[in-house]
Every structure is written in C-alpha cells, then in structure tokens.
Amino acid sequence: MIQLCKRCCKRAVREEGTAFCVECLKIHNEINRKADKVMKRKLAANRQCKICRVHLDKDHKYTRCFACRETDLKYYHSFKYKVVEHFGGACQICGEKDIRCLIIHHPDGDGGAHRHEVFGGNKTGAHIYRSIVRQNFDTGYRLELICSNCHLKKHTKLEYYTSDA
C-alpha cells in the first residue's frame, strides 16, 4: 500500500508508521529537534525527569530518573536478545556466548550506510537492533553475529599484533 505524505500528499518515504515525503520529513525532524531542545532546557532548569517529570536531585547527572532509565534499558535490551537469538546466540568465529560481548557486524563494510538509511544519522547499538527486529531480520544487508574481540581482530590491519608473540 502506498502512503501519502501527511503535509503535502506526495508519495511517502516510509511504508508504515508516520508518513512524510523527503522534504516534509526534514522539516518535521527539524521542528521536533527544536522542540526537544527547548523542553530539555526547561526540564534541566527544573531538575525533572524528561519522561515521568519526577524531581531529580541536584547532583543527578542524567535527564531521566533511575526508574525510567532502567525501563528504557530493559526495552532496548529485549531487541538485542531477539537479534542474538535469531543469529544463533554465539560468535560465528570463536563461539563466544556472553551476550554482553556479542555485536552485529556488517562484513561488507556497509554499517555506516545501513545506519544512515535507517536513521539518517549515526545511531548505534539498541537502535540498530530495534530496526533489525522491526524489519523482520530482512534488512537488505549481510549481517553476522560476532564477539567484540573478533570484531576488533577483523578491523585491526596491523600484522605485528598477533597472539604468537
């Protein structure tokens, strides 16, 4: 089904969710960014959680209270668990199973392009896991599950860093 832009009725960029054409999406995002900055300043001045509006201590360094941060972490981690489970639950190189170490790797080197296509920016981690789950694991990019150590080894081009030394 083709969706039309909410503002100008041209063909929409996205197939589901809020639909805008390319030009209107830029305007919409800019308006939201400005509103978020104004709201963040107001909440910071009043020392309130940006989600539940509970009062924060003066030395609290985050814009959200601990309960809201914990809820967000659980929500975002649920996407990582689903992605890890889908890709076998272990590093495809060494077999590491600790979920804290496992990451999604773009073996073709197109991770930046993938993030830019999905978000129009440089978001990482939980955001990319959420998009993979929402696209039903069919992103159009070749992905593999590897641990952080193997990922670093793949991207380190220096020959004199070997485990034989």
% the chain with pLDDT above 90? 18
Most confident of the following: 30-34, 35-39, 68-72 = 68-72
Q: Is the pLDDT of residue 139 over 90?
A: no
Most confident of the following: 15-24, 30-39, 76-85, 114-123 = 76-85
Residue pair 102/84 in contact (Cβ under 8 Å)? The answer is yes
The pLDDT of residue 156 is 82
% the chain with pLDDT above 70? 82
The predicted model scores a pTM of: 0.60
